[in-house]
Structure 1
Amino acid sequence: QAATSAIVKSLPGYSDDLPFKLETGYVGVGESEQIQLFYYFIESERDAKRDPLMLWLTGGPGCSAFSGLVLEIGPLKFNYTAFNSESDIPDLQLNPYSWTKWLLDHPKFLKSPLYISGDSYSGKLVPIIVQKILNGNRMGIKPIMNVKGYVIGNPLTEENIDYNSRVQYAYRVSLLSDELYEFAKMSCHGHFVNVDENNTNCLRAVQAISDVTYLINNPHVLEPKCKYVSPKPDKKRLTTHTIVDQGVSTTELRCRNQGYLLLYTWANNESVRKALHVRKGTVDHWVRCNRSLSYAKNIPSSVGYHQTLTNEDLRALIY
Structure 2
Amino acid sequence: MHMQNQESISQISRESSGCKRTMNMSSTAVLYLVLLLAVQSAIFAGAYRDPDSLNQLLKEKISDATSRDVKKKNLAGLELHGGDTYSPVYLGRQDLGSMEADKIVHLPGQPKGVNFDQYSGYVTVDPSHGRALFYYFVESPQDASSKPLVLWLNGGPGCSSLGAGAMMELGPFRVHSDGKSLYHNEYAWNNAANIIFLESPAGVGFSYSNTTSDYGRSGDNRTAIDTYTFLLNWLERFPQYKTRDFFITGESYAGHYVPQLAQLILHYNKISNQAVINLRGIAMGNAYVDDLANFQGSFQFYWERALYSDETYQGIQTYCNFANVSSECATYLRQASDEVGEIYGYNIYAPFCESPASTRIGVGFDPCSGNYIYDYLNHPEVQSALHANVTGLPYPWDTCSDVISWNDEPETVLPVIQELMASEISVWIYSGDVDGVVPVTATKLAIEKLNPPVKTAWYPWYSQKEVGGYTVGYANLTFVTVRGAGHFVPSYQPARALTLFSSFLDGKLPPANP
Q: Is TM > 0.5 for Structure 1 vs Structure 2? A: yes
1:121 matches 2:248: no
Does 2:367 correspond to 1:270?
no
**Distance in 2 between residues matched to 1:141 and 1:290, nearest whole Å:** 38
Residues 10 and 18, structure 1, Cα contact 8 Å, conserved in 2: no
Unpaired runs of 5+ residues, structure 1, are 228-247
Q: Which residue of 2 aligns with 1:234?
A: none
Instruction: Verify: 1:27 aligned to 2:123, yes or no.
Output: yes
Residue 2 to residue 284, structure 1, CA distance change in 2 (3 Å) = farther
Select the residue among 220, 236, 239 that pairs with 2:347.
220
- The answer on whether the counterparts of 2:378 and 2:397 sit within 8 Å (CA) in structure 1 is yes
SS at match of 1:25: strand
Distance in 2 of aligned mates of 1:155 and 1:283: 32
Please, which of 157, 177, 182 is the counterpart of residue 92 of structure 1? 182
Offset of 1:117 from its aligned partner?
A: 1.1
Partner of 2:417: 306
Query: Aligned to 1:7, what secondary structure does the other structure show?
Result: coil
Does the CA contact (< 8 Å) of 1:123 and 1:152 recur in 2?
A: yes
CA contact (8 A) 2:106 2:385 kept: yes
- Whether the aligned pair in 2 keeps the contact of 1:49 and 1:112 (CA below 8 Å) is no
SS in 2 for 1:56: strand
CA–CA distance in structure 2, aligned partners of residues 204 and 152 of structure 1:
34
Structure 2 CA distance for partners of 1:119 and 1:314, relative to 1, 3 Å: same
Question: What is the CA distance between 1:71 and its match in structure 2?
Answer: 1.0
Letter matched to residue 212 of structure 1: E
Measure, in 1, the Cα distance between the counterparts of 2:419 and 2:240: 30
**Local SS of the residue matching 2:282:** strand
Residue 70 (structure 1) aligns with: 167
Quick one: percent identity of the two aligned structures? 28
Aligned partner letter, 2:367: N
The superposition leaves residues 222-255 of structure 1 with CA deviations (integer Å, 9 ceiling, x where unpaired) of 222446xxxxxxxxxxxxxxxxxxxx56335666
- Match in the other structure for 1:188: 320
Once the 2 structures are TM-superposed, how far is the Cα of residue 35 of structure 1 from its aligned partner? Answer: 0.8
Letter in 1 for 2:425: L
The answer to whether 1:251 aligns with 2:251 is no
What is the Cα deviation at residue 272 of structure 1?
Answer: 0.6
Select the residue among 86, 97, 101 that pairs with 2:233.
Answer: 101
1:7–1:21 CA contact under 8 A, matched in 2: yes
Equivalent residue number for residue 279 of structure 2: 147
CA apart distance, 1:295: 2.3
Number of residue pairs the alignment of both structures matches: 287
What's the CA shift string for 1:58-116, capped at 9, x where partnerless?
1111111112111111111123xxx3xxx4x3321111102111012211101111001
- Find the aligned partners of 2:304 and 2:359 in 1 and give their Cα distance: 28
* Pairwise CA distance, 1:30: 2.5
SS in 2 for 1:250: coil
Q: Distance in 1 between matches of 2:140 and 2:274?
A: 24
Distance 1:68 1:249, change over 3 A: closer
How many angstroms apart in 1 are the aligned matches of 2:391 and 2:114? Answer: 23
TM-score normalised by structure 1 residue count: 0.83
Identify if the C-alpha distance between structure 1 residues 2 and 68 changes in structure 2 by more than 3 Å, giving closer, same or farther.
farther
Look up the SS of the partner of 1:93 in the other structure: strand
RMSD of Structure 2 on Structure 1 (CA): 2.2
- Unaligned residue ranges in structure 2 (runs of 5+): 1-91, 189-230, 431-514
SS at match of 1:77: strand
Q: TM-score, structure 2 length as denominator?
A: 0.53
Deviation at 1:299, TM superposition (A): 2.2
Q: Secondary structure at the match of 1:8?
A: coil
Alignment match, 1:161: 293
- CA–CA distance in structure 1, aligned partners of residues 173 and 351 of structure 2: 25
Quote the Cα distance in structure 2 between the aligned partners of 1:293 and 1:91.
30
Q: In 1, are the aligned partners of 2:356 and 2:366 still within 8 Å (CA)?
A: no
Contact in 1 for aligned 2:246/2:280 (Cα 8 Å):
yes
